[in-house]
Structure 1
Amino acid sequence: MMDTSFRAPPDAVIVIGAGLAGLLSAYLLEQQGQSVLLIESRERIGGRVLSDAAHTGAPFVDLGPSWVWPEINERLSHWSATLGLKLFAQHQHGAAVMEMQNHAVLRQETTYVQVPSSQRWEGGAAALLNALSARLERTQMLFNAQVTLIRHAPDNAVSVVVDGPQGQQQWRGSAAIITLPPRLLAERIRWEPELPASLTAQWQRSPTWMAGQAKLVASYKTPFWREAGLSGDAASKAGPLVEIHDASDASGLSAALFGFVGVSASWRAKMGEAELVQRSLQQLGRLFGPEATAPEWVHLKDWAQDPHTATPADALPVNSHPTQPPRKLPAPWDALVYLGGSEFADDFNGYLEGAARSAEMVVQEWRGQALC
């Protein structure tokens, strides 16, 4: 288990961000015998991975990413197997429904089956991060800690200034790995010496994938839609949910539906959470029958309202998938600071697969520099 009782030694590598890229970076660094200081602005690990429950004993539901495609997600498949995690296929048996703009509902007897196959982790996507966290032994974690400044130390090391529960603190490390999305990196952290304005401007123009989105999950006693011959898959031109799927657990006994909210972040803010939930439940009733309007509990996660994920710029619609923003840093930072995280991945940008690949990439870069 992770040891939080010691202060990080001065030669520790500082990892900023405890999402998948940060946790996997810390794990890989430990495999090289390296001590790590992992700094996270939230009160939890996970980043955009959030598997939550409404109350004790309730099933966990994914309010962030939930799917893995083993046929194409090579690194996620590797780490799931290495960590002993179990996957199960996304439920797609039965008819799908389509809601037209006038609220007319059409039933399609054959559900469109995703190829390659979509699978999910037993215990939610957070099971992957929890398994990594449980294996950390030389990593100290700081939660609710916001890095505001990175300095180049005179002895060619890195120092970071952190605002946290204990006030402002300064930590020193032999190097740093930053796994924040580029916009947060550009807007939240100052550098001494400063970075070129042209570089931070490019980061500010790089969208954070899914940061402007919202996801709703409704939990029920039973998957009643399956009994009616429905898969739980639905698409809508009316909204507010535009794409809906079965979110039940592997056994199907903990039943749930989830949907992506289609109205913009600005409209969501004007509408308010209560009205958005009410309209969404009314829509689920149109699609799946009156039982869908009375869930045991509902979760709505509006990522555009999460300051640890989104900036105001992320509330604007994104019309294309993000491409890799520039990662190369000028001297003296090029041998001290390494940029990871899903958006900085060389492939699968924005996805969990990209986050895993980026962690492997930055630790390999760090190791190559450490051996010089």
Structure 2
Amino acid sequence: MNPYFSAPPDAVIVVGAGLAGLLSAYLLEQQGQSVLLIESRDRIGGRVLSDAAHTSAPFVDLGPSWVWPGINERLSHWSATLGLKLFPQHQRGAAVMEMQNHDVRRNESTYAQEPPSQRWEGGAVALLNALTARLERTQMLFNAQATLIRHESENAVAVIVDGPQGQQEWRGSSVIITLPPRLLAERIRWEPELPTSLTTQWQRSPTWMAGQAKLVASYKAPFWREAGLSGHGASQAGPLVEIHDASDASGQSAALFGFVGIPAPWRAKMGETELIQRSLQQLARLFGPQAAQPQWVHLKDWAQDPHTATPADALPVNSHPTQPPRKLPAPWDGLVYLAGSEFADDFNGYLEGAARSAEMVLQEWRAEALC
């Protein structure tokens, strides 16, 4: 192990730089706290991934993209507070439905999401970028995997991290962990150990969307709109089962995205090249031959992302996750807090849940700090 490293004596260590982790860091700073933010990836965002590597146009989302202002109270609040702009998901035009025999049917009255969904200008990552830009007392450590949490005393916790410089040990006054429950159970050891009954329940808690894959195809123009199509499609044949318009607010950055309906083990056997080829053939059936000639295609298979999914997440999930147990026994209570979308008390798995979980944990942390 490398020499002992120390964050400021009163620092709170936050594990995970997704929305819950970044918002936790921001709220801690509002309380005058110093923060050490540990992230296993080389980027912020977690399951939020907005890509613009192939185009100078605005970002397209390879993870979550929608916000429902009518019901996402906390996302609405933070979007307004951070000065972010939203625009409506494009839904004007006809929808298409592909049957199992590849017969395509056109429905002039397209399916409209209710309540209406919106998207962030600049992609969902705009929310995380805005939070990051406001952090002043937070030190970020990327490519760093937290592997062990050790109880030091009543007022200190040590976190062992495997990172670019080898193994390091950081000490803080408390720790907020924002990992999904399965990753938390499989990747982090505890000294003293947690009850097996608790970690077993975490292992049984699916990580929402971790077994899914999303394909985005970008074009010079939204040609489907000229044909009176909304860009929405559904298919009983696949490989894409649900498709939407992913263009930017102006429609100048044109794109379609689809959720892949093939289970993760089959995707792995098929391979990325064949899956993309079949998906483009399908888009051509649904929206015309131009759809087979995108400027670029990006396929993100979250089941293959070790920072998101475990092997158990490759299995289909038939129901929305419910809140797993998040209260820790002594000596961890009051020192280590669990946040993250799956640990939210409502909107589990959604970005709204991630925001709510961060605010909930900060209330608990403040109550403990005042004791």
Q: State TM-score, norm by structure 2.
A: 0.98
Task: Give the C-alpha shift of residue 318 in structure 1.
Answer: 0.3
Contact 1:54–1:299 (CA<8 Å) still a contact in 2?
no
- SS of 2:267's equivalent? helix
Aligned match of 2:108: 109
Aligned match of 2:17: 18
Aligned match of 2:198: 199
Does residue 36 (structure 1) correspond to residue 40 (structure 2)? The answer is no
- SS of 2:153's equivalent? coil
Deviations 1:190-242 (A, max 9, x none): 00000000000000000000000000000000000000000000000000000
Does residue 133 (structure 1) correspond to residue 132 (structure 2)? The answer is yes
Shift of the 49–351 alpha-carbon distance from structure 1 to 2, 3 Å rule, reads same
What letter is aligned with 1:314? D
Q: Following superposition of structure 1 onto structure 2, how do residues 201-350 of structure 1 map, counting pairs within 5 Å?
A: 201-350=200-349
Contact 1:322–1:343 (CA<8 Å) still a contact in 2?
yes
CA distance in 1, matches of 2:55, 2:99: 38
CA distance in 2, matches of 1:7, 1:79: 32
Task: Give the C-alpha shift of residue 154 in structure 1.
Answer: 3.0
CA distance in 2, matches of 1:91, 1:156: 51
Shift of the 56–217 alpha-carbon distance from structure 1 to 2, 3 Å rule, reads closer
Contact 1:25–1:359 (CA<8 Å) still a contact in 2?
yes
- SS of 1:355's equivalent? helix
Contact 2:90–2:245 (CA<8 Å) still a contact in 1?
yes
Aligned match of 2:161: 162
CA distance in 1, matches of 2:65, 2:185: 28
Contact 1:53–1:61 (CA<8 Å) still a contact in 2?
yes
CA distance in 1, matches of 2:53, 2:149: 38
Contact 2:6–2:169 (CA<8 Å) still a contact in 1?
no
Task: Give the C-alpha shift of residue 53 in structure 1.
Answer: 1.8
Aligned match of 2:83: 84
- Mean Cα displacement is larger for which, 272-281 or 7-16? 7-16
Task: Give the C-alpha shift of residue 87 in structure 1.
Answer: 0.2
Deviations 1:232-285 (A, max 9, x none): 000000000000000000000000000000000000000000000000000000
- SS of 2:76's equivalent? helix
Contact 2:155–2:174 (CA<8 Å) still a contact in 1?
no
Aligned residues: 367
- SS of 1:76's equivalent? helix
Task: Give the C-alpha shift of residue 11 in structure 1.
Answer: 1.4
Q: Percent identity?
A: 87
Aligned match of 1:3: none
- SS of 1:147's equivalent? strand
Deviations 1:118-148 (A, max 9, x none): 0000000000000000000000000000000
CA distance in 1, matches of 2:204, 2:210: 14
What letter is aligned with 1:167? G
Contact 1:54–1:297 (CA<8 Å) still a contact in 2?
no
Contact 1:151–1:160 (CA<8 Å) still a contact in 2?
yes
What letter is aligned with 2:235? S
CA distance in 1, matches of 2:196, 2:334: 20
CA distance in 2, matches of 1:141, 1:156: 22
Contact 2:239–2:279 (CA<8 Å) still a contact in 1?
yes
CA distance in 1, matches of 2:359, 2:24: 7
CA distance in 2, matches of 1:56, 1:104: 33
Aligned match of 2:179: 180
Aligned match of 1:54: 53
CA-atom RMSD in angstroms: 1.0
Contact 1:215–1:258 (CA<8 Å) still a contact in 2?
yes
Contact 1:19–1:45 (CA<8 Å) still a contact in 2?
yes
CA distance in 1, matches of 2:291, 2:228: 15
Unaligned segments of structure 2, at least 5 residues: none
- SS of 2:40's equivalent? coil
- SS of 1:334's equivalent? coil
- SS of 1:333's equivalent? coil
Task: Give the C-alpha shift of residue 348 in structure 1.
Answer: 0.1
CA distance in 2, matches of 1:183, 1:46: 18
CA distance in 2, matches of 1:212, 1:277: 18
Deviations 1:292-328 (A, max 9, x none): 0000000000000000000000000001000000011
CA distance in 2, matches of 1:155, 1:171: 16
Task: Give the C-alpha shift of residue 57 in structure 1.
Answer: 1.6
What letter is aligned with 2:261? G
Contact 1:179–1:339 (CA<8 Å) still a contact in 2?
yes
CA distance in 2, matches of 1:242, 1:280: 10
What letter is aligned with 2:59? F
Deviations 1:26-85 (A, max 9, x none): 000000000000000000000000001233524311000000000000000000000000
